Amino acid sequence: MPPVTATLIWILVALVAIGLYLSWTAGRLDRLHARIDASRAGLDAQLLRRASVAQELATSGVLDPAASIVLYEAAHAARQAEEEQREVVESELSQALRAVFAEPQQVEAVREAPGGEQATRELTEAVRRVPMARRFHNDSVRAARALRRHRKVRWFRLAGHAPFPLAFEMDDEPPPALADRPA
């Protein structure tokens, strides 16, 4: 076999290997973007659930009028928020929940009302799931960002036209009186 042919074969093998590696990396990036979409949908569902439970509790009549108004307005704003304002209004709902349920006595008063045990359990589950969903989403974003920072991804434009993933940053600290309760 002439040396030129052997060199061309080795070049072809190297190009195929590089192509396979780039294809694998692009597939991995695509899977990460799909995971981000799924985790964002899960986060949105948990945020909506928390706002719905809070709004339902605010209109149930078991809270005092001032607490009902504060909780209802924050929950309504969270449900109606535009995407650009979502992090801010969700943080405000967290703050409203902490203000309304700052004392364990308030949680017990809600629990003792008719249907209050169910409402308290739903709210406790909702405020616990939001931080987990947000953490899962932000971990997915972090992994995709790390891969997108590699030179090979930027040079060969392996991300295509996918937007740069953004983390969801909000205050999701649950009220201590609810966080300490068993679900």
Residue 108 has pLDDT above 60, yes or no: yes
Specify the DSSP class assigned to residue 83: G
Residue 183 has pLDDT above 60, yes or no: no
- What pTM does this model have? 0.89
Encode pLDDT of 127-147 as tens digits. Answer: 999 999 999 999 999 999 999
Whole-number Å distance between alpha carbons of 39 and 57: 27
Assign 116 a pLDDT band (cuts: 50, 70, 90).
confident
Assign 62 a pLDDT band (cuts: 50, 70, 90).
confident
pLDDT of residue 181: 58
Closest CA to 141 of 33, 43, 57, 8: 33
Whole-number Å distance between alpha carbons of 12 and 150: 25
Specify the DSSP class assigned to residue 23: H
Inter-helix orientation angle 104-112/116-148, to 10°: 120
pLDDT of residue 3: 82
Assign 180 a pLDDT band (cuts: 50, 70, 90).
low
